[in-house]
């Protein structure tokens, strides 16, 4: 039996998506943040790809948070950005 809170299984996948595909907002869509995902795509297009840095930073943040903090922040409280 795992000690991880429900939703913690999304942390690693969301982090990897953020790092590798952050400019496309895939990590946002994966976590259920459709509006934020669309905004991420528009920002990336309008900045000629520089908006992908947001996804990179968020991916690193996701992976460095504890499972409990990740679930509390992004699953329970639905914090859409950073």
- Let me know if residue 60 belongs to a domain: yes
Rounded CA separation 9/18 (Å): 15
Does residue 10 lie in a domain region? no
Residue 9 within a domain: no
In a domain, 79, yes or no: no
**Structural domain span for residue 39:** 19-74
Confidence at residue 27, expressed as pLDDT on a 0 to 100 scale = 96
* Other Cβ atoms closer than 10 A to 21: 16
Query: Quick check: 61 pLDDT over 60?
Result: yes
d(CA 72, CA 1): 21
Question: Would you say residue 66 lies in a domain?
Answer: yes
What is the count of structural domains for the chain? 1
How many percent of the chain have pLDDT more than 90?
A: 85
Please give the model's pTM, rounded to 2 decimal places.
Answer: 0.89
Give a yes or no: residue 11 inside a domain: no
* Nearest of 8, 7, 22 to residue 52 by alpha carbon: 22
Is 13 among the domain residues? Answer: no
Domain-located, residue 70:
yes
Distance CA 57, CA 79 (A): 15
Task: Answer whether 51's CB lies under 8 Å from 43's CB.
Answer: yes
């Amino acid at each position: 039996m795992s000690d991880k809170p429900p939703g913690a299984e999304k942390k690693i996948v969301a982090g990897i998506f953020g790092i590798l595909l952050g400019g496309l907002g895939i990590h946002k869509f994966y976590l259920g943040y459709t509006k934020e995902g669309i905004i991420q795509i528009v920002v990336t297009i309008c900045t000629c790809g520089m908006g992908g840095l947001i996804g990179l930073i968020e991916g690193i943040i996701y992976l460095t948070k504890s499972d409990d903090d990740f679930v509390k922040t992004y699953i329970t409280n639905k914090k859409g950005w950073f």
